[in-house]
Structure 1
Amino acid sequence: MMAEETNHVLVMADRVINAAMWLADDKDHPKPVIPAIIARFDLNAREACEACRLAQDFRRAGRPPV
């Protein structure tokens, strides 16, 4: 993988994690949540769904990692 591609993957992963932390912390998030995550964090639908899955994991664990 080229350095530019690696950087792009890391940026996308960071945005997915940020979206998941926001969703896990926010008790009153907008509905429907997927379009809100896509707009707020510049993600595609697959990444927004992954953020939702991670948010659920964070909630189950008690709080998102810092």
Structure 2
Amino acid sequence: LLLAADLPAFRPARNRLTHPQGRVQLRFGRDGLWYAYESDPGADDWWPRGTPDLDPVGALTGLGGGDEL
């Protein structure tokens, strides 16, 4: 779905998909929803952003990344 939406190939690890630049992460919750998280470059802390969604692309909507995603 992410590639079909012209987004880069996110790296999978456990229940997470991480953007190649390491700034945005999608996490799949036990409730079946995708949650978007953001981090500052080089930081190890992640902050929830946006609204959870059944669709990973929908969870990224509203992050304002545009060309950065």
Q: Do both share a fold (TM > 0.5)? A: no
Larger relative contact order, structure 1 or 2 (CA cutoff 8 Å, min sep 6) = 1
- Normalising by structure 2, report the TM-score: 0.22
- Normalising by structure 1, report the TM-score: 0.22
Identify the structure with the greater strand proportion. Answer: 2
